[in-house]
Amino acid sequence: MLIDKARFPRDKSCGDAVCGRSVDIMRELGLEPPPLGNGFARVQGQIFYNLRGDSLHLPFVSPKSHNGDGEVRRSNGNGNGHSAPAYVIPREIFDNMLFQHARRQPHVTAVEGMAFDRVMNENGRIEGVVVTDEQRREHRFRARIVIGADGALSRVAQAVGSYDFRKRRHEHWIGAFRIYYRDIAGLGDRIEVHFLDELIPGYFWIFPAGDGLANVGAGMVESYLVGQDGAPKMNLRKITYGLIASHPRFKRRFSSAVEVDGSFRGWQLPCGSERRRIAGDGWMLIGDAASLIDPFNGEGIHNAMLSGKLAAHTAAYALRNDTIRTGGLMPYERAVWSELGRELDTAYRLQKLLTKPASRWLLDTLLHRAASRPRVRQALVDMMEHGELGRLTSPLNCMRLLIA
């Protein structure tokens, strides 16, 4: 049974970028992105702008990714890498694709318009869920396994004792928002990531979504937004609108752009730098409910889809072998951290570097050199491809790249 509070299609706050690794999982599910022009765009790469405004063009390269023959994708050696397909798909479209595909599967019952209220707990065991419909009537559904996929402020996570939101640590959360704009000047077929002094640690983005539409937004570590060590609170919305109106990079580009009415939406991102319990006796958590957001770039779609895949495999095995009540769901937690732990730890170290002026200068200079030196650029592509961006957390490795 698939239970959702919303009715599909529905909007969801997000940057909307669907990377190559997410596309791979879609294809495993038997899903192909629909033809271009149906509300989304295929993007050909990414452009990083450092603090001084240098632009570094990079392909999309998926670490540890494979082609259909099981061979690891390799760079082609000319500085372009082997690009994985990537898209910008508004979540109203993307999530509905996944939901409708799921409900078409044999033996799947999909229920919309029902909100999670509490788990059915019998003698310390999770035995199902209690939900309420739109008329506030209560419904009880028994289940041998409950999988919480209810987002950043997961009520399932709180109900099973995985996380206490009253004790949240702001340094492991990101505050962000997105707006849709039309007719931004110079909008190409690459996603843009802009590092700006006003948004460190964080960034501003412009993602082309097809037909002149763009997803525009900003994100920043929450501890800086709420104020820390006596620092004043920061208004992310006010700062970003100010940058759009006056910053030399954006003022002319947005001068004729039109904000889509009602498209401003903010949200909170729980990062994988703070690990919570994500499996127990009769329950698992996936996606944002499992706190799997990348703390450096804020990406979460792939980690959500991968965790769903791992949870499905674990659930199937535990049901076949009747091990749900004897620790049979714990392999899921180990599998998630085995697949994503190193990547999330590296991302957190990279995020922390942006808070230190000396490290920030070093990374900024590295992007400056990579923008003009093919060898440095290719070294970064190779690191991305082989999952070795953690090397950038070493000042010595950065210095070696600078003199390459």
Instruction: Give per-residue pLDDT as tens, 222-250.
Output: 999 998 767 789 999 999 999 999 999 99
Please list the alpha-helical segments (H only) found in 122-202. Answer: 155-159
Structure tokens at 230: 């006596």
pTM for the model stands at 0.91
Would you place residue 276 in the very low, low, confident or very high pLDDT band (cuts 50, 70, 90)?
Answer: very high
pLDDT digits 0-9 by tens, 149-198: 999 999 999 999 999 999 999 999 999 999 999 999 999 999 999 999 99
| pLDDT cut 90: percent of the chain above it | 76
Residue 301 phi, psi (nearest 5): -65, -50
Q: What per-residue confidence (pLDDT) applies to 401?
A: 84
Q: Domains for the chain: give ranges and CATH numbers.
A: 114-168+274-351 (3.50.50.60), 170-270 (3.30.9.10), 353-402 (no CATH)
In this predicted structure, the answer to whether residue 73 has a pLDDT above a threshold of 60 is: no
Burial string for 317-337 (b: 16+ CB within 10 Å, else e) reads ebeeeeebeeebbbbbbebbb
- Please give the span between the terminal C-alpha atoms of the chain, in angstroms, as a whole number: 55
Q: Which residues pair with 63 in a beta bridge?
A: none
Query: DSSP class of residue 85?
Result: P
Output the pLDDT for position 269. Answer: 96
pLDDT score at 79: 38
55-59, 124-128, 390-394: range with highest mean pLDDT:
55-59
- In whole angstroms, how far apart are CA 370 and each of 292, 367, 375, 401? 30, 5, 8, 9
Q: What is the mean pLDDT of residues 125-143?
A: 96
| Ramachandran angles phi, psi of 136, nearest 5° | 65, 25
Which has more pLDDT, 76 or 185?
185
Is the pLDDT at 203 greater than 90? The verdict is yes
CA–CA gap between residue 34 and residue 19 (Å, rounded)? 15
pLDDT surpassing 60 at residue 36: no
Residue 23's CB is within 10 A of a number of other CB atoms, namely 23
Between residues 60 and 293, the one the model is more confident about: 293
Average pLDDT on 2-30 reads: 94
pLDDT in tens, 81-116: 445 689 999 999 999 999 999 999 999 999 999 999
Is pLDDT above 90 for 65?
no
Residue 31: pLDDT band with limits 50, 70, 90: confident
Instruction: Give percent of the chain with pLDDT exceeding 70.
Output: 92
pLDDT level of residue 70 (50, 70, 90 thresholds)? very low
Binned at pLDDT 50, 70 and 90, residue 34 comes out as: low
- Alpha-carbon dihedral sign for residues 24, 27, 31, 34: positive
Q: Are 50 and 7 in contact (CB under 8 A)?
A: no
pLDDT at 247: 97
Positions of E strands within 281-380: 283-285
**Kindly report the CA angle at 51 between 377 and 200, in degrees rounded to 5?**
115
When pLDDT is cut at 50, 70 and 90, the band that residue 265 belongs to is very high
Query: What is the reported pLDDT for 122?
Result: 85
State how far the Cα of 225 lies from the Cα of 238, in Å rounded to an integer: 12
State yes or no: pLDDT of 69 exceeds 60. no
